[in-house]
Amino acid sequence: MLSDEEMQEIKEKIISHIESTFPAEQIPNAKQQIESMNSKQLEGFLERNKMIKANESETNSSNDCVFCSIASGKINSVKIDENDDAIALLEINPVSRGHIIIVPKNHSDKPSKNVSALAKKISKKLKKKLVPKDVEVSNSKLFGHEIINVIPVYDNENINSKRNSVKIEELEKIREELEKEKKIEKIKKKTNGEEIKHFFWLPKRIP
């Protein structure tokens, strides 16, 4: 049985996926169906769509859980970075602009050192590129799959703050901003002799 917190998180992710991929005329009805589901109905929906396996508990959920589906590309997402053990994705229900989740590639309730290392790398990138006043790193777990939230803090945002639904196109723009390199102009330095010649050159006197 799903907890209220788990239900809310799953519904938010499904609805964001609907808003970014469904035809406009189908979105209101699809959202209403998801929002009206109780715990049993939602579990049935997840089973039918192979996001979890029937009769499996949270502790032994397989690679068909929500986050495994995201990591494997079954659910549309915007990737920022990855290493051997994890993938960094822009959250589709972000707490703040640039909210990134670090998803272990293997179904696990305990992130490896490589997973934590990717979270640190992403935290540094967010600080440099988006210039928040701080970055919060927070773990959360669903279906036995623990992820790491890397949240830019511009005001007083935290993992429990209100989430917003963002379209894939907006996330793509944030990715471009994070990947953009600053162009540094290369200025050729003149030698002392050239500088003197440039600033103090005088025409020859004509007798």
How far apart are the C-alpha atoms of 144 and 137, rounded to whole Å? 19
Residue 43 sits in which domain range? 4-181
Q: Tell me, yes or no, whether 196 lies in a domain.
A: no
Task: Evaluate the CA torsion angle 167, 170, 171, 172 in order and state its sign.
Answer: positive
Per-residue tokens: 47: 């089973």
Q: What percent of the chain has pLDDT over 90?
A: 32
pLDDT of residue 72: 75
Q: Tell me, yes or no, whether 195 lies in a domain.
A: no
Contacts (Cβ under 8 Å, ≥6 apart) of 62: 53, 56, 68, 107
Q: Tell me, yes or no, whether 56 lies in a domain.
A: yes
Q: Tell me, yes or no, whether 198 lies in a domain.
A: no
Considering 6-15, 66-75, 79-88, 143-152, the range whose residues carry the highest mean pLDDT is 79-88
Per-residue tokens: 44: 């049935």
pLDDT of residue 23: 73
Across the chain, mean pLDDT equals: 78
Left, alpha or beta for 144 (phi > 0: left; psi -120 to 50: alpha)? left
Q: Tell me, yes or no, whether 187 lies in a domain.
A: no
pLDDT of residue 64: 53
Phi, psi for residue 153 in degrees, rounded to 5: -105, 110
What CATH number is given to the structural domain containing 83?
Answer: 3.30.428.10
pLDDT of residue 100: 96
Lowest mean pLDDT among 103-107, 135-139, 169-173, 199-203: 199-203
Residue 162 has pLDDT above 60, yes or no: yes
Considering 125-129, 167-171, 188-192, the range whose residues carry the highest mean pLDDT is 125-129
For the stretch 49-103, pLDDT in tens is 655 544 444 444 444 577 777 777 777 789 999 999 999 999 988 999 999 999 8
Contacts (Cβ under 8 Å, ≥6 apart) of 202: none
User: What total of structural domains would you count in the chain?
Assistant: 1
Q: Tell me, yes or no, whether 192 lies in a domain.
A: no
Q: Diameter of the chain by CA atoms?
A: 106
Q: Tell me, yes or no, whether 207 lies in a domain.
A: no
Q: Tell me, yes or no, whether 160 lies in a domain.
A: yes
Overall pTM > 0.85? no
Residue 195 has pLDDT above 80, yes or no: no
For the stretch 25-35, pLDDT in tens is 778 888 888 88
